[in-house]
Every structure is written in C-alpha cells, then in structure tokens.
C-alpha cells in the first residue's frame, strides 16, 4: 500500500463514523470513479460473492434474507456456474444456501446447455472471466445475451482482473449486473477489502443486507479503515500513468528473464499474462530434468522469497507486479545461490 493510503487509514482509525452513511458516501464516489451506477465496499471479493448471491436470492426482501442460508421459502434459489469455471471461491455462493447448477464440461459449454438449465428457479449466473478458463467456457457476451433474454442476473467475479483499469467498468458496460473486485492485489489497497460494482437497485440491496445488519453477510463487514483505504488506493490506481506502469512491468520482466538465464541452469522466457489472465507479463524459467521446481521454490522460500511453480509445464515463474528494482536484485542474489546449491548436490 502507498503511504497516502496508509495515512488515510490511520486518520480514519482515530474517528467514529456512522457506517451506513460512510458506505453510502463512499459508494457514490467509487461509482463515479469507476463509471458505474453504484458501488459497495465489502471485506473481500469472496465476501462480495456471498453478498451478491444473497441479493440475487432475496432481491430487497429483508425477511427472506434473515432466513438464509435456508432457501426453502425462496422460489428462485439456483445459481448457474459453468463446470469449466468451477473453483474454490464458489463455496461463497454455496454459503448463501443457493443450489449450484453446473453446465458444460471440460471441453465446451454450448448455448443450449445454458438455455436448458434456466428455469423458474434460476436466480443468477455466476461468471469467472479468467483467461485460464476460456477454452471450455461460453463467452461472457453470449452469457449476457441469453441471461437478458430470460431476465436472469449475471454476476462476474473479477477479483483478479486488474490490470487493465478499464475492467472496472467494462464488464458492467457489457451488461453484467454486478462485478466484484478485490481491493488488494493490483489495486494495492487493504487486503481485507473488496468492491461490488453495478446496478443501483442491486447495490441498494447490498446496503440493506450488508453489515452491520445481522444475518449471514455480517461476516462480510469491512472496517472503516479498509473502506476509506480502498477508496484512496482506487484514486491512486486510476490517476497513475498506466502506459509508464506497463513499460516498467515489461522492463522488470525482461530483467527477471535475464536473472533466470544468469543461473546457467534455467532457461528464461516471458509469458504475456498474469496468473488469472491479467494483462501483464511474467518471467518463467524451464528446469533441467535433474531439477525439482517445488524444491527450488522451497529453497527460495527459505531465503524469504516466494516464487511460483507451474507444475504442468515444470517451470518456475517470477511475478514483477509488486517488485521494485531493489527487490529484483535481492531475488537475483537468492536465485543464483539456490540454483548453485541445488546444482552442487546433483
């Protein structure tokens, strides 16, 4: 987090506020910044998924919300998710009490599969715009088209889909009803924060059901420090020179590839997207047959540095997103040492 974000958080910690009033006023400012009708601050993207699911189930009915996760009185209690996109975070949708209906398979998801799954019990379609899921997924454009024709909500978990900054408004402009983002990650805001962006009526229900209201979504409560912190981080993120930021990321990635090559054992190369398909590059390194990627990852962790290991490709990778140039030199020293130590034992 930037010093500006931390300072704003420290100031808020020294004041009492009306949480409802803070939520409403922050939402208006965040909506303005992100070109959305409305916005809500929550404690995380997964918290946002639970709250969005509750809104899809109950709309503005506080009695029905108070009964969750019991959905026996809710006629529309099913959420559609593509099997190719099913992931650990779907548990937040299940926590609402909704029944998840899977469609498609590991190879493809076709129009008729979605059309056939929609019925009088369907509350929403959850979509995960992650590049790693694209091969077997129906396009978001097609999902929105079918959903609108059937008057079904589309909720996008875009927690990791920054950069580019345009994603903050691109999904809702496409027709997504609610888009959910992490307040940490690329925004560099508090890790215990998230954003729900979208339709005013649905955000009004988020406010109606969200903390400090009692019920299953009280666990999604964001502190006042996190709430103002994510606004400060968002303002910083949107005001920075993104062309220069992207140029620096590319330069850092090239430097990391050179470091990988300098080990004399690993072979470096670039991959032009982040771990969830974000638009930024990473540095990868292939391993000789005698080397274990997980062993190298553990050795680097012992040096106080976390690197990635892509098991299917048997490659290590280094992410430039939050590395400064001084830290890159620390990574270089540690990687050369760890590779040399491993080579000596072979």
| Residue 102 CB partners (closer than 8 Å, separation 6+) | 80, 81, 82, 83, 86
Cβ atoms of residues 77 and 70 within 8 Å: no
Instruction: Provide the β-strand partners of residue 286.
Output: 267, 315
Helix residue ranges, H only, the chain: 3-13, 19-34, 45-58, 62-67, 91-94, 111-117, 140-149, 167-174, 200-209, 224-239, 242-262, 293-302, 325-344
Q: What DSSP designation does 137 have?
A: S
- Asked if pLDDT for residue 275 goes beyond 90, the answer is no
Residue with tokens 């990868």: 284
Average pLDDT over residues 287-301: 92
Cβ atoms of residues 23 and 227 within 8 Å: yes
Average pLDDT over residues 180-192: 95
How many beta carbons lie within 10 A of that of residue 13, not counting itself?
11
**For 213-242, how does the pLDDT look when each residue is reduced to its tens digit (9 = 90+)?**
999 999 999 999 999 999 999 999 999 999
Q: What is the pTM of this model?
A: 0.92
Specify the pLDDT at position 290.
86
Domains of the chain: 3-239 (3.40.640.10), 242-344 (3.90.1150.10)
C-alpha to C-alpha distance for 235 and 243, rounded to whole angstroms: 17
Element (DSSP H or E) covering residue 153: strand 153-157
pLDDT band at 277; cut points 50, 70, 90: confident
Specify the pLDDT at position 313.
85
Cα dihedral sign for 1, 270, 272, 46?
A: negative
**For 100-154, how does the pLDDT look when each residue is reduced to its tens digit (9 = 90+)?**
999 999 999 999 999 999 999 999 999 999 988 989 999 999 999 999 999 999 9
pLDDT cut 70: percent of the chain above it: 100
C-alpha to C-alpha distance for 301 and 317, rounded to whole angstroms: 13
How many beta carbons lie within 10 A of that of residue 144, not counting itself?
20
Provide the CB-side half-sphere exposure for 346 (13 A, CA). 13
Per-residue burial over 157-187, b = 16 or more CB atoms within 10 Å of its CB, e = otherwise: bbbbbbbebebbbbbbeeebbbbbbbbbbbb
């Amino acid at each position: 987090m930037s010093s500006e974000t931390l300072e704003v958080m420290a100031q808020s910690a020294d004041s009492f506020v009306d949480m409802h009033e803070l939520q409403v006023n922050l939402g208006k400012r965040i909506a303005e910044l992100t070109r959305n009708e409305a916005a809500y601050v929550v404690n995380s993207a997964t918290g946002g998924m639970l709250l969005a699911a509750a809104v899809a189930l109950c709309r503005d009915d506080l009695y029905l919300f108070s009964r969750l996760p019991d959905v026996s009185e809710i006629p529309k209690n099913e959420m559609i998710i593509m099997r190719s996109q099913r992931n650990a975070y779907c548990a937040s949708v299940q926590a609402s009490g909704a029944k998840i209906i899977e469609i498609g398979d590991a190879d493809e998801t076709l129009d008729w599969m979605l059309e056939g799954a929609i019925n009088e019990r369907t509350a929403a379609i959850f979509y995960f715009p992650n590049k790693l899921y694209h091969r077997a997924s129906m396009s978001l454009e097609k999902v929105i088209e079918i959903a609108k024709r059937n008057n079904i909500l589309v909720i996008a978990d875009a927690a990791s889909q920054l950069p580019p900054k345009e994603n903050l408004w691109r999904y809702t402009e496409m027709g997504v009803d609610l888009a959910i983002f992490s307040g940490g990650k690329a925004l560099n805001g508090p890790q215990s924060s998230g954003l729900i962006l979208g339709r005013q009526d649905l955000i009004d229900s988020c406010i109606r059901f969200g903390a400090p209201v009692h019920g299953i979504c009280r666990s999604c409560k964001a502190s006042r420090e996190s709430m103002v912190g994510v606004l400060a981080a968002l303002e910083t993120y949107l005001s920075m020179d993104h062309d220069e930021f992207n140029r620096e990321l590319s330069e850092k990635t090239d430097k990391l590839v050179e470091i990988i090559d300098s080990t004399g054992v690993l072979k470096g190369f670039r991959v032009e997207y982040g771990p969830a398909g974000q638009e930024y590059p990473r540095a990868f390194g292939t391993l000789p047959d005698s080397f274990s990627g997980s062993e190298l990852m553990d050795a680097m962790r012992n040096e106080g540095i976390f690197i990635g290991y892509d098991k299917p490709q048997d490659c290590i990778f280094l992410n430039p997103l939050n590395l400064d140039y001084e830290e890159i030199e620390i990574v270089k020293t540690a990687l050369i040492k760890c590779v040399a130590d491993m080579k000596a034992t072979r």
